[in-house]
Structure 1
Amino acid sequence: MNLHGIRAIYRFEMARTFRTLTQSIASPVLSTSLYFVVFGAAIGSRMGAIDGVSYGAFIIPGLIMLSLLNESISNASFGIYMPKWSGTIYELLSAPVSYIEVVVGYVGAAATKSLILGLLILATARVFVPYEIAHPVWMLCFLVLTAVTFSLFGFIIGLWADDFQKLQVIPLMIVTPLTFLGGAFYSINMLPPVWQKITLFNPVVYLISGFRWSFYGVSDVNVGISVAAIVGFLLACLVAVWWIFRTGWKLKA
């Protein structure tokens, strides 16, 4: 394992983040804070509790997950797309680093940024809404698993994209709508029975449900299924990355 290569890629990506703190960290935290102000403090105070949890506290896991998914994908996809766009990816491919080390460097940096962002949003939520974390270890596990998995997914998107517009297609048109429809602002048990069954085909439901369970001990689906869903998607992404580097798809064109 070439630790020097991994460290070089990781430090380069993290340095880019710290050069753009306003865009990378401050902007997502501020936009999520507006959700807490509107839905948590203003509207939440006029709504009843859901599963024994105040509405303002109930939406915290969903909002954190919304930011975590989008930022993980954006950070990883942009990080690997820029070398493709500038042509420096050929220098990376010819360097004495394996594809595993490349993936660890880029995905590790993207996941680290997302974890920092998620923890900052969690701390910011305390300003607007009181909440408790019933299972802090599990909460961190869900955070890390989700950040790594969707950073890996974003890495695949960055390899697939041919232009800057394609980097935003999946996050904006697929991931964000699935998150809003996946129980970020409500429990799926509030839906009619038919829609409850349809919603279970939304993979984001399992992420939000498991993450919310780590906070309040309540979930829409079994926690074991939530963990299995995340791990399954992680394995699928790993297989996809292995195939891309093995075949050179979108890398050698």
Structure 2
Amino acid sequence: MNWSAVRAIYVHEMMRFFRTIWQSIASPVLSTVLYFVVFGAAIGGRIQTIEGVAYGAFIVPGLMMLTLLQQSVSNASFGIYFPKFSGTIYEYLVAPAGWIEVTAGFVGAAASKAMLIAVIILLTSFWFNGVHIAHPFWMLAFLILTAVSFSLLGFIIGLWAKNFEQLQIVPMMVITPLTFLGGAFYSASMLPPFWEAVAKLNPVLYLVSGFRWSFFGLADVPVGTSLIAVTIMLVVCLAAIRWIFATGWRLRE
């Protein structure tokens, strides 16, 4: 393991993030504040509690997960796409670093950025709601596993994309809708039986459910199932990236 290569890529990506820190942090935080105002205040005035939890506090894990997924995918996909776009990807391919080092550097930086923004959103939520974290260790575990898994997915998207339009398709047309339909703002138990069964086909529901359980002890699906789901995603993404680097698919075009 070439830790110097991992550190060089990681530091480079984080420096790029901090050069535009105002834009990188202010935009998602402002969007989340609007969600708190619209959903927490407006809808929360009509829905007082869900399973004994104030609605304004109930949506905090969902909002954090929404931002975490979007930022993880976007940061990782843009991070690896720009070297492809500029042609500097070949410097990574001929450097004394394997696919593990390159992936760890880019994915580690993307996950760090996403988790930083998620933590800032959590701190922001204290201005609006009294949020209590019942299981801090598992909250952190779900945060890290989800950030890393979706950063790996974003890394794959960045390798696959041939232009900026393709780079935006999955985050905008897949990730965001699945998160909204994955119980970010409601509990799946509130749905009629048929639609609850349909909702459980959404993989994002398992992430949101596990993350919400770490806050309030409430879950739409068993916590163990949520952990298995995110672990499977992580393993599948790692296998896909290893195959891409082994075959050179979309790397040497």
TM-score > 0.5 by shorter chain: yes
> Within 2, Cα distance between the matches of 1:48 and 1:33?
19
Query: Which amino acid letter does the alignment assign opposite residue 161 of structure 2?
Result: A
Secondary structure, aligned partner of 2:24 = helix
Are 1:21 and 2:21 matched, yes or no? yes
Q: CA RMSD in A?
A: 0.8
**What is aligned with 1:134?**
134
Are 1:50 and 2:54 matched, yes or no? no
Please give the per-residue CA displacement for 1:16-60, whole angstroms capped at 9, x wherever unaligned.
Answer: 000111221111111111111221134313322101101001100
Deviation at residue 226 of structure 1 after TM alignment = 0.4
**What is aligned with 1:233?**
233
> Within 2, Cα distance between the matches of 1:248 and 1:44?
51
Query: Which amino acid letter does the alignment assign opposite residue 50 of structure 1?
Result: I
> Within 2, Cα distance between the matches of 1:72 and 1:55?
26
> Within 2, Cα distance between the matches of 1:110 and 1:243?
21
> Within 1, Cα distance between the matches of 2:102 and 2:89?
11
Structure 1 alignment gaps of length 5 or more: none
> Within 1, Cα distance between the matches of 2:137 and 2:40?
25
Structure 2 alignment gaps of length 5 or more: none
1:41 and 1:128 in contact (8 A); partners too: no
**What is aligned with 1:94?**
94
Runs of 4+ in 1 over 2 A off after TM superposition: none
How many equivalent residue pairs? Answer: 253
1:41 and 1:129 in contact (8 A); partners too: no
> Within 1, Cα distance between the matches of 2:168 and 2:100?
25
Deviation at residue 107 of structure 1 after TM alignment = 0.3
**What is aligned with 1:199?**
199
1:57 and 1:129 in contact (8 A); partners too: yes
> Within 1, Cα distance between the matches of 2:193 and 2:39?
26
> Within 1, Cα distance between the matches of 2:190 and 2:3?
50
> Within 1, Cα distance between the matches of 2:173 and 2:136?
32
**What is aligned with 1:12?**
12
**What is aligned with 2:180?**
180
> Within 2, Cα distance between the matches of 1:43 and 1:189?
18
Please give the per-residue CA displacement for 1:208-242, whole angstroms capped at 9, x wherever unaligned.
Answer: 00000000001100000000000011111011001
> Within 1, Cα distance between the matches of 2:134 and 2:106?
32
**What is aligned with 1:35?**
35
> Within 1, Cα distance between the matches of 2:82 and 2:157?
12
Percent identity between the aligned chains?
63
Instruction: After TM superposition, list the pairs within 5 Å mapping 1:207-218 onto structure 2.
Output: 207-218=207-218
- Per the normalisation by structure 2, the TM-score is 0.98
> Within 1, Cα distance between the matches of 2:33 and 2:56?
12
- Per the normalisation by structure 1, the TM-score is 0.98
**What is aligned with 2:104?**
104
> Within 1, Cα distance between the matches of 2:91 and 2:55?
51
Query: Which amino acid letter does the alignment assign opposite residue 35 of structure 1?
Result: Y
Instruction: After TM superposition, list the pairs within 5 Å mapping 1:113-124 onto structure 2.
Output: 113-124=113-124
